[in-house]
Amino acid sequence: MYRRRAFTLIELLVVIAIIAILMSVLLPALQRIRKQAKTTICLAHLRQWGLLFSMYCDDNDGHFFSGQWQGQWTGSGQFWRYAMAPYTKDFSEDLWCCPQATKHRAWGAGGGGGTLPEWSDEAWYVASDDAVGSYGLSGWVLNPPPGTNSVYGRQPVSDHWRSPRIKNANNVPVFFGMWWVDAWPRENDNPPTKDFHPLDTVNQDEMNRVCVDRHDGYVNGLFCDWSVRKTGLKELWTLKWHRSYNVNGRWTKAGGCAPSDWPEWMRHYKDY
């Protein structure tokens, strides 16, 4: 005769409780590690883009794109997407998307033209080319053709950088995580009133296209010296977007902006 041993109900409940406690401690840490890994991958993507943009400029007398494609003004960022095709053709489609924004959906739930994402974890989608991405070009780096009066309605043309070979290139944005394929931010652009699908009009509040909360209050970007870094959402207003841009404008601490001036969803982020 022998006695069969087994766990009692109390012992099982204790083990379950211990596992639950361990999971509650470990899961937040694992989530932070996962987010940090996605940020690192995103920065690696932008470094690769920096190499490709550098190659393009070297092949074009040190200049960026003209803003046209085959002599025509084109929409949906085709002027840079098509020009970069020979340089990106051998790379994975993943290069076009931040790991935090790999999804896309043709307009349906949101209505409209079928291109803009609804949330920060979604990528933009250009239906005409079946193109997907979550990065966009600063339109101010363009090199407009002689005689151009405006670039897609944005003026003045003299504000464009034209080349990465400039002073303080480390503070001049080239390529950032964005809601759309391009943007022409200005110092007086108002911040988005919500943290999803911001609205803007041509030449007004286009900073909204860049102010996308992909990395817990930060968005990753590539600069004219081909460096990459995380940039605070409020810090975006302190970057030198175009030649006459005032980096101490109304949405900066130097310009007198108070934390309470920001939309509620941005107030807890770091001020600059």
* Unique residue bearing structure tokens 């190499």: 51
Q: How many CB atoms lie within 10 A of CB 181?
A: 23
Residue 188 CB contacts under 8 Å (≥ 6 apart), including other chains: 249, 250, 251
Q: What's the CA gap between 117 and 101, in Å, rounded?
A: 10
In the prediction, which pLDDT does 20 show? 77
Residue 115, both tokens: 């291109």
Assign 25 a pLDDT band (cuts: 50, 70, 90).
confident
- Average pLDDT for the chain: 90
Average the pLDDT over each of 19-33, 125-139, 216-230, 241-255 and give the range with the smallest value: 19-33
Tens of pLDDT, residue by residue over 70-114, are 999 998 999 999 999 999 998 888 899 999 998 776 544 443 444
In the prediction, which pLDDT does 2 show? 57
In the prediction, which pLDDT does 6 show? 64
Tens of pLDDT, residue by residue over 120-148, are 999 999 988 889 999 999 999 999 999 99
In the prediction, which pLDDT does 167 show? 94
In the prediction, which pLDDT does 37 show? 86
38 contacts 120 by C-beta, under 8 angstroms: no
Q: What's the CA gap between 106 and 102, in Å, rounded?
A: 13
pTM, to two decimals: 0.86
Q: Vertex 221, ends 94 and 134: CA angle to 5°?
A: 40
Residue 1 has pLDDT above 90, yes or no: no
Nearest to 171 by CA among 248, 77, 99, 97: 248
